[in-house]
Amino acid sequence: MDDDSHDSEQEASAFWEARYADTEQVWSGRPNQTMVDVVRGLVAGRALDLGCGEGGDAIWLAQQGWHVTGVDISPTAIARAQAAAAGLAPGRILWRVHDLATWTGDGVYDLVTASFLHSPLEFPRTDVLRRAAGLVGPGGHLLILSHGALPPWSKYHGHEHRFLTAAEEIDALALTEDVWETRLAEIRPRVATGPNGEEATLDDVVVLLRRR
């Protein structure tokens, strides 16, 4: 690893650790409803949750019978996920602290999920998702959920950022059609609650790909 890569990894680790450590709880603890709706019909197997945060999605997957690996860069987030999972799905979740920008994966999975894998820091998101696709076994699925636009309560309004459409997400991955089948590529509206209790309808970009 060169010095610039090492510095970037340290910066990302410090940023996300502060993001979690500076508040008692960042997320609601509930699984993302769009993820639930998409995954509910799949046969449970091995799952990988990229950027698992405080563990809401990973815990729900484990409760549905999946054996889950949850990965996040923040030790505080992983510690909270472990605490939240205690007694809910014994032996079904492995928690790992890794920087996804450099992590190359561990094994083959039937489902890899990446929910809102966005960062205000420089982050090789497309490279991470391409590596994630490489971890999906035959017949398995890659699920990418992303924002269609910033939530109205986001503090990053005013910063230039254009989120990818579903078609652009798929194009960026550059996966071959003879190996991958597109199952979903759409926008789904979702009612969400902001940090101060404000409600808004958000658009989720949903991409579900199946490895043939």
Say what the pTM is.
0.89
Ordered structural domains, the chain, with CATH: 3-22+32-211 (3.40.50.150)
Q: Could you tell me the CA-to-CA distances from 86 to 43, 83, 190 in Å, in that order?
A: 24, 5, 29
What pLDDT is attached to residue 155?
66
CA angle at 42 for the pair 85 and 110, rounded to the nearest 5°: 75
* Average pLDDT estimate for 140-164: 80
**Taking phi first (over 0 means left), then psi (-120 to 50 degrees means alpha), and beta for anything else, what does residue 125 get?**
alpha
Nearest-angstrom CA–CA distance, 158 and 96: 34
- 86 burial type by CB count under 10 A (0-12 exposed, 13-18 middle, 19+ buried): exposed
What pLDDT is attached to residue 116?
92
* C-beta separation of 44 from 70 below 8 A: no
DSSP-assigned letter for residue 164: P
Q: What are phi and psi of 182, to 5 degrees?
A: -85, 115
What pLDDT is attached to residue 2?
56
Strands (E) in 88-179, as ranges, are: 93-97, 109-115, 136-147
Nearest-angstrom CA–CA distance, 46 and 82: 18
Instruction: For the chain, give the mean pLDDT.
Output: 91
3-state secondary structure of 60: helix
Higher per-residue pLDDT: 101 or 1: 101
* C-beta separation of 210 from 139 below 8 A: yes
Confidence of residue 159 (pLDDT cuts 50, 70, 90): low
Confidence of residue 40 (pLDDT cuts 50, 70, 90): very high
